[in-house]
Structure 1
């Protein structure tokens, strides 16, 4: 891609809607659906966590597959394919309650979502090549506002729908999410068509400086291990604390709105630093947000937790994407982002199921939230050691 598209901000909007589908819906709407599905099917916390682990396993496969395909297939085509197939997977999730069916489509949503998500970052990194400030803002908007919109829409509708119609209405929730995703396809696919970077030939590829990138990679692994616990089990924890559907919806909408606003908070940091400082600061914010509801178990702390967590969580992908853009040549961006995605995917696979086991062991999922905060702080300490390449 030698020149940017004629309408880069509209292209960015289409790419961000792709992240809404592949991240906001396919990854995190399950956290809102989990209490109803857990109640309806009689699952324990480990079984409930398994479906997000299944999704993460698919995400690993999709991230690895993207790393292999990116040398031969244009990122824009992988983005479009992933967006279409993730939408179909969301629709299929609501058609059958059997655990094998749920596992199948959660895995497929992970595979296809990873294709679209990792290539969206590489495509956005090329929108404003000669303007570092606009480039940092575009990357932050992609991950923040794109994913945040999905959480706002899910949080505003799903808890109230399930409260009105009962836990047996969870299939309607997945089908509604699938229909909304279908409405986002036209702009998302149009955006992909405006960006036609060539596939990266194996002969032209330069090796990534993996050894010098280790602190950033390890810090991002800490992100994968820790962040997913909050988004998977927050609604279940609030339900255990006898929170009403209206309050659960309020917390999730605030969470999503803060995710949407997070690019404005972090743009100066992302533009200024080519080191691991942005990732370290972001992980610290996520850790604080994860622990607050347990350390201070009241409504005000829950709302503050949603604000702190929301202002930080989706900026971690933005931090590593920005790190790649500032430190590596353009032909290495997609491979570097795919590598970060694989590391992240492997780490987050352990999170939901492990957190469920801890929650079952102590009969309190709040213990898992505190443990996740500890892992995030370890990741922050490692990430701050990353120097510019």
Structure 2
């Protein structure tokens, strides 16, 4: 195992040496070039000639490169913690509440990153926020290997949450912009979102051997940090090919969000329930007696399902009206947890993994798409920002609440409490009233 880690370190040095000069120049040049798009408006679906010309040649390799940011922000920095949690909890003698608190710390950081990303983009540009966020993510992951102090690890997870919040939102904006002029925004954002599954698969393949070695969880954080550095080298060429930004959209003034309270609070509950499940599912598999090989299989199948689900759910969600998309996708996520809790055996684990990964990101996109359809196009930015804040608040509360319940009633009860939050999410989303507004 030492030889494998040595190889990874040497590989990272080679990447650093070969990209050093180009990387520094790229980071300085990735700010969007200025372009006269004064005739562009959010209510006019036709791209101006300048943007149309800039986007006409954008290939699918651009969102694929940007997807490496989602792989790092979600797959490596956020989701992989579930794989490391049992080893960290055992080695550092944590309670479930303490383990959940690290998830809460990251969620608080993500909330702050979500709130500040728009302002950061005004100062630095979307591309710089994306790349600098990835750099901060890599640094926070590498630093996790250096500390055993609970407070220091909490701070590092907060920093990782802040950085990944900036990365994911900025990357989503870049992907949507890259496909906007040619009418392929949905396709480009789906490809971008699939990066989360890629990150899950890679972490599922690479981390178990490290966890089984003397390097254990500390070595695993080093591997995740090095992988994140590698994603930067892949993402920068894609960032440089994203077309310039159009004229600023209206801020949604005059649109009341009061009537959207049901879907806003539903997304809060979804964030709480999904993140609690994501945080503790691997610990539950350990407690249920499944071996490391079966847990790795669960993680890889879930990651593959995340990547595939973005394309499979898209056409179906487009045909469902009202809150049905939210109800269906969240219902599948609930079913994935129930299969794991009520059944035992390899078949149940694999079915749960497929359902879990197949609904995880799809349900989040279903919530956002439903909320966006309830307001006119000039208010899209405002409603998406409000939804993101509620989601982040839910992620903050979920792991801490369910972890505390697990400490008193056991891991099984903690998992059922997360399911209860998702059931409440469906109930609230179903109470949302209002017809879809055309752009």
TM-score in terms of structure 2 length: 0.80
Residue 37, structure 1, aligned to residue 83, structure 2:
no
- Deviation, structure 1 residue 335: 4.4
Moved more, 150-159 or 190-199: 190-199
Which residue of 166, 178, 191 maps to 2:225? 178
Q: In the TM superposition, what whole-angstrom CA distance separates every residue of 1:339-366 from its partner, at most 9, and x where no partner exists?
A: 322111111111111111111101x212
Other-structure match for 1:337: 384
Query: Structure 1 83/212 Cα, relative in aligned 2: closer, same or farther at 3 Å?
Result: farther
Distance 1:85 1:330 in 2: 33
Distance 1:274 1:128 in 2: 25
Q: In the TM superposition, what whole-angstrom CA distance separates every residue of 1:89-119 from its partner, at most 9, and x where no partner exists?
A: 1111122222122111100000111011122
Query: Structure 1 342/197 Cα, relative in aligned 2: closer, same or farther at 3 Å?
Result: same
Query: Structure 1 82/106 Cα, relative in aligned 2: closer, same or farther at 3 Å?
Result: same
Moved more, 1-10 or 220-229: 1-10
Question: Can you give the 5+ residue segments of structure 1 that lack an aligned partner in the other structure?
Answer: none
Paired residues for 1:133-144 under 5 Å: 134-143=184-193
Distance 1:264 1:94 in 2: 36
Moved more, 51-60 or 154-163: 154-163
Conservation of the 8 A alpha-carbon contact between 2:177 and 2:245: no
- Deviation, structure 1 residue 136: 3.0
Q: The residue matched to 1:37 in structure 2 has which SS? A: helix
Residue 159, structure 1, aligned to residue 205, structure 2:
no
Distance 1:211 1:14 in 2: 38
Query: Structure 1 338/115 Cα, relative in aligned 2: closer, same or farther at 3 Å?
Result: farther
Distance 1:95 1:13 in 2: 32
Question: Can you give the 5+ residue segments of structure 2 that lack an aligned partner in the other structure?
Answer: 1-36, 38-50
Conservation of the 8 A alpha-carbon contact between 2:372 and 2:383: no
Moved more, 33-42 or 296-305: 296-305
Residue 55, structure 1, aligned to residue 103, structure 2:
no
Query: Structure 1 220/51 Cα, relative in aligned 2: closer, same or farther at 3 Å?
Result: same
Distance 2:269 2:103 in 1: 17
Moved more, 45-54 or 134-143: 134-143
Distance 1:11 1:374 in 2: 39
Other-structure match for 1:146: 195
Distance 1:84 1:200 in 2: 27
Conservation of the 8 A alpha-carbon contact between 1:93 and 1:174: yes
Other-structure match for 2:421: 375
- Paired residues, number: 382
- Deviation, structure 1 residue 22: 0.6
Q: The residue matched to 2:60 in structure 1 has which SS? A: helix
Other-structure match for 2:436: 388
Q: Select the structure of larger CA radius of gyration.
A: 2
Aligned Cα root-mean-square deviation (Å):
2.5
Distance 1:175 1:199 in 2: 41
Q: In the TM superposition, what whole-angstrom CA distance separates every residue of 1:211-240 from its partner, at most 9, and x where no partner exists?
A: 343333222212101011221111111111
Q: In the TM superposition, what whole-angstrom CA distance separates every residue of 1:273-300 from its partner, at most 9, and x where no partner exists?
A: 5743322222111111122211223332
- Deviation, structure 1 residue 378: 1.8
Q: Higher relative CO (CA 8 A, sep ≥ 6), structure 1 or 2?
A: 1
Conservation of the 8 A alpha-carbon contact between 1:72 and 1:200: no
Moved more, 94-103 or 258-267: 94-103
Distance 1:274 1:84 in 2: 41
Query: Structure 1 48/378 Cα, relative in aligned 2: closer, same or farther at 3 Å?
Result: same
Query: Structure 1 282/71 Cα, relative in aligned 2: closer, same or farther at 3 Å?
Result: farther
Conservation of the 8 A alpha-carbon contact between 2:251 and 2:382: no
Distance 2:56 2:160 in 1: 29
- Deviation, structure 1 residue 5: 6.0
